[in-house]
Amino acid sequence: MSLNYVVAMLLIALGLYCLLLKRNLIKMVIGLGVMTDGIHLFLISMGYREGGIAAIVPAGMLQDNVAAGFASAAVDPIPQALVLTSIVINICIVALALSMAIWVYHHYGTLDPSEVRRLRE
């Protein structure tokens, strides 16, 4: 179980490294994706429960007076909703970033961010 958190933190660290130190826009976008995926894994792990059931109450369950058993078995549904939302947002970011990278290459002939700095001059 705690392996999840270790992997999540590793992914975040690797993504951050890639985003900050790589000198290629495509790799930076990949790094951003990896980092966000790490955060997603972290979020979803918090709601995970081994052998858990979906947090949907079947019709007979409440009548059988096992609501307490349900609460102790069901997974936390909120992180799943959050991650789903966040994945969609991340797709938008990656798509927009890649399309901008194409335009950068179109204008500058390179993807090295240290050469894309004509505005400073």
- How many of the chain's residues bind another protein (CB under 8 A)? 34
d(Cα 24, Cα 15) in Å, to the nearest integer? Answer: 14
Residue 65 CB-half CA count within 13 A: 0
Going through the chain in order, the beta strands assigned E by DSSP cover none
Contact between 14 and another protein per CB under 8 A = no
> Which is closer to another protein, CB of 54 or CB of 96?
96
- Which C-beta is closer to another protein: that of 60 or that of 107? 107
Structure tokens at 64: 């059988």
User: Should residue 86 be labelled a site residue for another protein when binding is judged by CB under 8 A?
Assistant: yes
Q: Does 117 bind another protein (CB under 8 A)?
A: yes
Could you say which of 43, 66, 73, 74 contacts another protein (CB under 8 A)? 43
Q: Cα torsion for 34, 35, 40, 42, to the nearest 10°?
A: 120
Does position 108 interact with another protein (CB under 8 A)? The reply is yes
Q: What angle do CA 43, 96, 94 make, to 5 degrees?
A: 35
Among 7, 26, 39, 66, binds another protein (CB under 8 A): 39
List 7, 14, 26, 116, residue binding another protein (CB under 8 A): 116
